[in-house]
Amino acid sequence: MPFASKALTDDLIQVTLDGRLDIAGTAAIEQPFAFATTGRAARIIIDLSGVTFMTSIGIRLLVATARAQTNRGGSVVLAAAPPLVQQVLETAGIDQLIQMVATTDEARAAMALR
Amino acid sequence: MSQQLRFTLETSTHAIGHAIARLSEFASCYGMDDDAQFKLDLCANELLANVAEHAYAGAVGEVGLELLLDSAGATLTVVDNGPRFDPFDEAALPLPTSLATARIGGLGLHLVRRFADAVRYERVGNCNRLTVEISGESTLLHPPATVTLPDAVPDVTSAPVSS
């Protein structure tokens, strides 16, 4: 479960996740992902287009990131989740807690308003 | 015609990862469709995580997995010998309504309830048996001539069984 982080502006960061967000995949990135996404207040776009699988453990990671950023005055948008991953997130009610959009372009537009 | 895979594993993160891979490869070998495989993968992950967390008070224990594939779909059973615990007996947790109050505990079993077509719990002897049924199109009647399964899970107690 690799991930990549790219600063689009000083306080706008796009993080791209790939692979499986299950027990093993989440454990493999938990600490560096938290460091990259919660170290300071920022607007974070999490690109899920490469995520092939999601369990409650992966959801916990996303919620923890969004909560930390909200507490710091930042924000998180989830972008481009594949259909089955989106279905898992919606079934868990995450779309009611974290904004989800269909593409990273939409995510950038949403963040431009914040 | 049906195909069955049965083995045991320890409830360590490493062994669970290998077991999930083995289940997925078995389902793939017998032509289970992608949506059904995703649901099977999700239910197996969440049920094994639940056993690892609750069955042995945090210690590593043994868990049995049984996967039956037939033309209607998959039946997955997870067996542990921890204290009696029916996770489906509890009322479904309300979904989180805010980031500040969101608690993820219980969410995995909520996903199992929603993604499986049927769930049931049985106490058999000293064992908890959690079973989920997942419907899905399959090409079971035309399995590959030779099915090669990954030999990644220690303490495998039986090979695939045709019936």
Put simply, the answer to whether A56 touches B104 (Cβ < 8 Å) is yes
Write the CA distances from A73 to A76, B113, B156, integer angstroms: 10, 35, 51
Note the pLDDT tens digit of each residue in B8-28: 999 998 899 999 999 999 999
CB atoms A67 and B115 under 8 Å: no
A21-30: average pLDDT:
92
Query: Does residue B56 carry a pLDDT above 80?
Result: yes
Burial state string for A46-73 with b = 16 or more CB within 10 A and e = fewer than 16: bbbeebbbbbbbbbbbbbbbbbbbbeee
Q: How far is CA A99 from CA A35, A50, A75, A85, A110, in A?
A: 21, 18, 9, 15, 9
Q: What is the mean pLDDT of residues B133-141?
A: 77
In this complex, which of A53, A84, A97 lies closest to B98 when CB atoms are compared? A97
Crossing angle for the helix pair A56-72 and B107-115, nearest 10 degrees? 130
Rounded distance between C-alpha atoms, residue B112 and residue A75, angstroms: 30
For the record, the structure tokens of A46 come out as 């999490």
Angstrom distance (rounded) from CA B74 to CA B115: 13
Predicted pLDDT of residue B156: 42
Would you state the pLDDT for residue A2? Answer: 80
Q: Enumerate the residues of chain B whose CB falls inside 8 A of the CB of residue A96.
A: 95-97
Mean pLDDT of chain B: 84
Interface test with A, best of B43, B111, B115 (most A CBs within 10 A): B111
More confident residue, B1 or B93: B1
pLDDT tens profile A36-94: 999 999 999 999 999 999 999 999 999 999 999 999 999 999 999 999 999 999 999 99
A53 and B110 in contact by Cβ < 8 A? no
* H/E stretch holding B129: strand B127-135
The amino acid sitting at B102 is A
Q: What is the pLDDT of residue B100?
A: 80
Residue B163 predicted with pLDDT over 50? no
pLDDT in tens, B79-90: 999 999 888 887
Q: Do A55 and B111 touch (CB under 8 A)?
A: yes
Residue type, A75: S
Report H helices in chain A. Answer: 23-38, 56-72, 83-91, 104-112
Taking the Cβ of residue A56 and every Cβ of chain B, the question of whether any pair is shorter than 8 Å is answered with yes
